[in-house]
Amino acid sequence: MKTPAALLPFIAIALFCNCASPENHGTSGAGTFPDTLGQLLVNQVGYHPEAVKIALIRMNTAKFDVVDTETGKVVFSGKPGPFKYWDLSGDSVCTADFSSVTKPGKYQICLNNRSVCSYSFEIGDDVYSNLAKASLRAFYLNRSGMEISREFGEKWARPAGHPDTGVFVHSSASSDKRPEGSKISSAGGWYDAGDYNKYIVNSSITTYTLLLFCQMYPDFCNSFSNNIPESSNSIPDVIDELLWNLRWMLTMQDPDDGGVYHKLTNKEFSDFVMPGKATDPRYVVLKSTAASLDFAATMAMASRVFATSESQELKKLGETCLNAAMNAYAWAKAHPAIYYKNPSDISTGEYGDTELSDEFFWAASELGLAENNLAVISKEEMNAQKWMVPSWDYSGMTGIISLSLTDNPGASEIKAEAQGIVIDFADQLVEKSESASYKVSLDFFKWGSNSDVANMALIKLVAYKITRDEKYFASIQGDVDYILGRNATGYCFVTGFGGKQVMNIHHRPSGSDGIAGPYPGFLSGGPNTVTFADCPDAVRSKFPAKSFVDGLCSYSTNEVAINWNAPLFFVMGAMDSLKKKKS
């Protein structure tokens, strides 16, 4: 029998009213007890003093208290809002708004005479600084072809793996000057995700996101130090990090015709071993239209960002990037429908994409801005793009973002239209978060759902950059809160942070280094119901927002990926940057 919709919220409330006694919990703070049953959902890292601060409650209670964990004193008491049901999580939650608590310190939310308390969190000006640093350092820890020394990697130090100085040309990628079996050097880059391969389409959106951050927050980048091997040079650490990947990307272009290889890979995924022990042959595989367009767009964006640098090295590299972008775009125009599909002897990640109108628009937009050739940018194509957050397989909004932020005086008309699209999309996302029970814009769960949340915050940050309208910040804070614990699973989804931490990410180095706990600073992919085949013995919720497994086997929910970490760093760095400016 189908349950009447009107009764669902009350049934959901009843499911969460079995309050555990204190002896069933570990102690924390000043005699309070962390909520291990998920009856209180809160950002487990913290808030800036003036931020909107909202926790979620999944049990009946007349009031909630905010407790200072050092003194044990109640600093604020409030009445929860009404319960609201979410069909994607199968439960009801009510809000606990404690925005008026602004004094820096460490706190918990407690219910029912402290029989149930949340994980602790902090209020302070620098609450996101370590998150920003860790989320960017995750890229350093995931570098291919580099030893991670103890000086910079601490206990996650490891020998170098995959030098990629002798990579085979696969039969699908062969040409007269580079026949099958010939070798090229394609060193550097980041490992893409939980595996040891490197993919152009995913590297492109990742590198673009970091470049966009450098464009939007140059002062923050100039002062941001992250203790990487290049930190002593004159180039900002954010750019130093993305250069490790961008220079690898340049090696993936065939210098004879401008086409770009889709990926550099083993024939099969390697076992869970450390990088230095994964020694199977490596191949560059098939030049594809999508890879060439994504490459062209990213290189054109890099040329624009580097042109504003005081570094002559970067200015010269920018010229190289622009030339590479033009050649890749010309190849894609001449080969507009070479869609990537794994050859029969290759079984690693495919990143296939047969809808390329967005990639053509993105590449044309970036090249038009870089070359000051605005005639190649089509308003009609811009207005035909879907309102979707940037991703490896849909980049239309990425081109719109670049157009909305251009300072080219000749682009004022199309810039205004692009800004209108970004603002309207951001306003739509804000409206969703304001009406949602979980106070988040996300209303779908596909692979990497946590990155969608981060990218939604990115869209709102771009809208704020354009308008300087403070209305976006409550919604951006909601996205941050979701990632850091205020979600239906109760996990803080960034490794190394929070009270309920993700511990078993699908990531080969983390799973084979013999160290308890994963590499820090990685964003777990998050809940989805795309596949249930990865961990057949795991108990998995059928509700999308709860369908998550903190297990090494769960590549569908608990893998990490560079294109997920890039928006994570973007948002955490932006929050840190904007707070410093307001202080």
CATH of the domain at 447: 1.50.10.10
Which ranges of 114-255 does DSSP label H, i.e. alpha helix? 129-141, 150-153, 200-216, 218-223, 237-251
Reply yes or no on whether the pLDDT at 98 is more than 80. Answer: yes
Q: How does pLDDT run across 100-123, given as a tens digit for each residue? A: 999 999 999 999 999 999 999 999
**Could you tell me if residue 516 is inside a domain?**
no
Reply yes or no on whether the pLDDT at 330 is more than 60. Answer: yes
Give phi and psi for 196, each to the nearest 5: -105, 20
Question: Are 240 and 382 contained in the same domain?
Answer: yes
**Could you tell me if residue 166 is inside a domain?**
yes
**Could you tell me if residue 567 is inside a domain?**
yes
Number of domains, the chain: 2
The 10 Å Cβ neighbour count of residue 167 is 23
**Could you tell me if residue 538 is inside a domain?**
no
Question: Are 441 and 322 contained in the same domain?
Answer: yes
Give 430's contacts (C-beta < 8 A, 6+ positions apart). 441, 460, 471, 472, 475
Reply yes or no on whether the pLDDT at 131 is more than 70. Answer: yes
Rg, the chain, Cα only: 24
pLDDT at 10: 29
Question: Are 116 and 133 contained in the same domain?
Answer: no
**Could you tell me if residue 529 is inside a domain?**
no
Q: How does pLDDT run across 541-574, given as a tens digit for each residue? A: 999 999 999 999 999 999 999 999 999 999 999 9
pLDDT at 41: 97
Question: Are 37 and 110 contained in the same domain?
Answer: yes
Contact 184, 169 (CB under 8 A): yes
| Separation of alpha carbons 36 and 1, rounded Å | 33
**Could you tell me if residue 26 is inside a domain?**
yes
Reply yes or no on whether the pLDDT at 322 is more than 90. Answer: yes
Q: How does pLDDT run across 42-68, given as a tens digit for each residue? A: 999 999 999 999 999 999 999 999 999
Question: Are 245 and 289 contained in the same domain?
Answer: yes
Q: What are the catalytic residues?
A: 195, 506, 550, 559
Encode 186-208 in three state secondary structure: CCCCECCCCCCCEEHHHHHHHHH
The confidence band for 371, taking pLDDT boundaries of 50, 70 and 90, is: very high
Reply yes or no on whether the pLDDT at 367 is more than 80. Answer: yes
| Interstrand relation of 121-123 and 167-169 (parallel, antiparallel or unpaired) | unpaired
pLDDT at 13: 31
Span 125-144, mean pLDDT? 98
**Could you tell me if residue 249 is inside a domain?**
yes
Question: Are 398 and 262 contained in the same domain?
Answer: yes
Q: How does pLDDT run across 384-426, given as a tens digit for each residue? A: 999 999 999 999 999 999 999 999 999 999 999 999 999 999 9
Domain boundary among 77, 108, 123: 123
Domain boundary among 68, 89, 123: 123
The confidence band for 579, taking pLDDT boundaries of 50, 70 and 90, is: confident
Encode 503-561 in three state secondary structure: CCCECHHHHHCCCCCCCCCCECCCCCCCCCCCCCCCCCCCCHHHCCCCCCCCHHHHECC
CATH of the domain at 61: 2.60.40.10
Question: Are 356 and 316 contained in the same domain?
Answer: yes
The CA-to-CA distance between both ends of the chain, in Å, stands at 57
From residue 225, give the alpha-carbon distance in Å to each of 130, 204, 232, 237, 497. Answer: 11, 24, 9, 6, 20
Can you give the pTM of this predicted structure? 0.94
The confidence band for 37, taking pLDDT boundaries of 50, 70 and 90, is: confident
The confidence band for 23, taking pLDDT boundaries of 50, 70 and 90, is: very low
Reply yes or no on whether the pLDDT at 2 is more than 70. Answer: no
| Separation of alpha carbons 225 and 231, rounded Å | 7
**Could you tell me if residue 548 is inside a domain?**
no
Contact 523, 448 (CB under 8 A): no
Contact 244, 148 (CB under 8 A): no
Question: Domain limits at 227?
Answer: 129-492+559-582
Question: Are 447 and 569 contained in the same domain?
Answer: yes
- Tell me 448's DSSP state: T
| Separation of alpha carbons 132 and 254, rounded Å | 35
Exposed/middle/buried for residue 30 (C-beta within 10 Å: 0-12, 13-18, 19+): middle
Question: Are 63 and 153 contained in the same domain?
Answer: no
The confidence band for 6, taking pLDDT boundaries of 50, 70 and 90, is: very low
Question: Are 237 and 298 contained in the same domain?
Answer: yes
Give 395's contacts (C-beta < 8 A, 6+ positions apart). 205, 294, 297, 358, 359, 362
Give 284's contacts (C-beta < 8 A, 6+ positions apart). 167, 168, 169, 170, 173, 184, 186, 252, 261, 263, 264
Question: Are 118 and 157 contained in the same domain?
Answer: no
Reply yes or no on whether the pLDDT at 287 is more than 80. Answer: yes
Question: Are 99 and 139 contained in the same domain?
Answer: no
pLDDT at 236: 97
Domain boundary among 76, 93, 123: 123
